[in-house]
Structure 1
Amino acid sequence: MTQVNPTASVQTVPYALRRVGTIMEPEPGNPLEVEGVLNPGTARGPDGELYLFPRMVAEGNVSRIGRARVVVTDGVPTGVERQGVVLAPDEQWEHGTRNAGVEDPRITFVEPLGLHVMTYVAYGPLGPRPALAVSEDTVAWRRLGPLRFGYQPELGTDLNLFANKDVVFFPEAVPGPDGRPWLALLHRPMWDLDWLRPGEGAPAPRGIEDDRPSMWIGFVDLDAVRRDLSALTSVTHASMVAAPEMPYEESKIGGGPAPIRVPEGWLVLHHGVTGADVKGFELAYGARYTAGAMLLDAADPRRVLARTAEPLLVPETDDELEGTLGNVVFPTAVEQVGARRFVFYGMADSRIGVAELVRADGAGSPDGAES
């Protein structure tokens, strides 16, 4: 099976986002941030402090991943204290002759491994390719290399041929295709190869009728990773989870922060795009990026239980409407601060904002059902 057809047993997604404000913007005079700070990951350090890992963009669209302590005032994230760079495009597969970057980190503390796992986009010679780094302390990050998708004859194609973005791990083991506990990740492959060979397209995998960029899931063998950490880059059993369906997702969708275990299943915040008519992975000038949500089945995360018919957050403030790529809110991280959860998101590809995640039905905080 290349796609698990969802059957909605939950009719609504009972969560909402409440905008808090801008938490980080480019530092005047800092050459590493002259083209913006955006799309961060987050992690708790051994000291208990919350750290932000922004994508920092220098002149020429060269991206690095920084580290900054989050300043919390009266229980709300309000600012950052910069602490330097943790990842730069130092490897040959992270840059080409006219491009370079380590971009858009997503960070998950993966409980079965006791490690922070960072997925990021390596902008190398063949465009964006997902890669992994791991850390015990959030300061030193060890690269494991690019993700490698195992061949699946039923797809009729090789996923390694295509650009892929929006990769993020689940924080816990989930039931895998054979019923055993597996690690799982969301990802967003793109079938268009016109950027590489103009005029030469590529068909979507066998069984995929909607070729718009969509959310997929993949699995990693937990037992193999426990024997050899490098196996964390080996992904198999890939299948589509959700294609664009709602009006605010007309052009494409992609995953955001690490999924959150809630009473209804797995809460996945994602972005939906409208107005984009671009090739490959180019910036979608003229598009509108909004934030939505869906619920995945805890017993089978390939199955969608519900999704929001309308976005939870849309570009409205000046910081979200004006920037390198205007009209964008792009959620990439979520963290608990005290009894509250906050989502960190890119604003117009130039700044970083924060919004509070709350239950829309008044049933309390969106804490997980499992302890």
Structure 2
Amino acid sequence: MKNLLLLLLLAQLTFAQKQQPWMIGPFRKADAANPILEAKATTTFKCPLRGETVNWEEKDVFNPAVVVRNGKVYMIYRAEDKVGKYAGTSRLGLATSNDGIHFKRMPEPVFYPDNDFMKKYEWEGGCEDPRIVETEDGRYVMTYTAYDGDLARLCVASSSDLIHWQKHGLAFNSFIKGKRDFWSKSGAIVCRKVGNKFIAAKINGKYWMYWGDQAQLYIATSDDLINWYPATRPNDPAYKSLDVSDVNCIPVATTRNGKHDSRLLESGPPAFLTKDGIVLIYNGMNYNQTGDASLAEGTYAAGQFLFDAENPVQLKDRSENYFLKPDKPYEIVGQVNQVCFVEGLASFKGKWFLYYGTADSKIGVAVAKKINE
């Protein structure tokens, strides 16, 4: 029995040693409360495009963004109904919490496909996977994915109160210049932590954003947080196909053989500056033929990147392994099995709260003491 306890202690110490000094955490799942948000069949919404009332969060809720405002955690989360050829349109709901664990939802979505200039990009797949940062003057800037059933496109919107939003269109519209289009998702803007706020930060006169959901992670810059330009090599080829590699985007990180992130990389919450550099929490997808054989095929688990604070293109370090993986029934089985997808990070009441989608069906949270800011 003593030998067994010793082995368990050694295993815990070995895992703890994988927490590199610059990393945020370690995080512990709030198992007693998780999942903290689930689908709800009783809330309704008069869809302006269908012209009928839908149960807008009846199917699944997942992949939230969070900010701290007026002493509360505000969560913008993705919700799906059960209507349409894509088995559900995504809209964004809003919930608030006094403790970071228990949330009260607004009855209707605050962001959704509408009869506006974005309809051709958002209908009928919907508006997905928000990430939110604040500006120096107190506005909120949200990156989100519009999905029309063919292409996912990274988009931008802004708000002063998290309820009323102005859509600004495709994040890379000025870069595309009407010549072509390409798949793009998951924009994590670099911030500076000021108290409990994450304020978009300029580095060398530019805003920076990590983006993508492919075998390589990319980066883009902006002067105004609205119009973004992917970092590309000087010899950009002509616009020919829908493959982002044909735009010659510069990769800042790539997948790894033998690890949980062997198939693809995808940005998590907004990145932020620390004393060690820029920390980006990210999602990695496992491919068993070249990845981590101890994880199920297609598992989404979370890792962390450290980029140079003066040169955000330069990767300085990365976590040796995942720090969060699916291991609970509601994380293992759902709309998409074997998923912990991190997307929201809050500094609140002296702790870190990391919010994540579970199996693309529910929302969970992991908590850590604040260290190494």
TM-score, normalised relative to structure 2: 0.74
The structure 2 residue matched to 1:146, chosen from 170, 192, 199, is: 170
Give, in whole Å, the separation in 2 of the partners of 1:216 and 1:98: 26
1:269 is matched with which residue: 271, 276, 281?
A: 281
Match of 1:32 in 2: 56
Deviation at 1:78, TM superposition (A): 2.0
Inter-CA distance 28–268: structure 2 relative to 1 (3 Å threshold): same
1:223-271 C-alpha deviation (Å, 9 max, x unpaired)? xx3xxxxx72232434321111251111101100011322211111000
Following superposition, the deviation at residue 12 of structure 1 comes to: 5.8
The aligned counterpart of 1:208 is none
Would you tell me which structure has more strand in proportion to its own residues?
1
Which is bigger in relative contact order (C-alpha 8 A, separation at least 6)?
1
**In the alignment, which of 317, 325, 334 is matched to residue 314 of structure 1?**
325
2:159 to 116, 135, 143: 135
Contact 1:93 1:125 in 2 (8 A): no
Residue 51 (structure 1) aligned with residue 79 (structure 2): no
Q: Does 1:168 align with 2:188?
A: yes
Letter paired with 2:90: S
Counterpart AA for 1:81: K
Cα distance 1:159–1:97, how it changes in 2: closer, same or farther (>3 A)? closer
Does residue 235 of the first structure (1) align with residue 229 of the second (2)? yes
Give aligned pairs, total: 301
Alpha-carbon distance between aligned partners in 2 of 1:39 and 1:242, rounded to the nearest angstrom: 22
Partner letter of residue 272 of structure 1?
G
- Secondary structure at the aligned position of 2:231 is classed as strand
Task: Give the drift of 1:17.
Answer: 2.1
> How far does the alpha carbon of each residue in 1:302-341 deviate from its partner, in whole angstroms, 9 at most, with x for none?
1111111210001001111111001000000100111111
Give the conservation status (yes or no) of the 8 Å contact 1:44–1:138.
no
Distance 1:311-1:94 versus aligned 2 partners, 3 A rule? farther
Mapping for residues 1-371 of structure 1, pairs under 5 Å = 13-15=22-24, 16-20=26-30, 21-30=34-43, 31-45=55-69, 47-59=70-82, 60-72=87-99, 77-83=100-106, 84-90=108-114, 91=116, 93-94=118-119, 99-111=124-136, 114-124=138-148, 126-148=150-172, 161-171=181-191, 172-175=200-203, 180-188=204-212, 212-221=214-223, 225=224, 232-238=226-232, 239-245=250-256, 247-275=259-287, 287-358=298-369, 365-366=370-371, 368=373
- Kindly report the root-mean-square deviation, in angstroms, between the aligned alpha carbons of the 2 structures: 2.7
Q: Return the letter of the residue paired with 1:99.
A: E
Q: 1-side partners of 2:72 and 2:254: how far apart?
A: 37
CA deviation after TM superposition for structure 1 residue 18, in Å: 1.3
- Give the secondary structure class of the aligned counterpart of 2:36: strand
Secondary structure at the aligned position of 2:124 is classed as coil
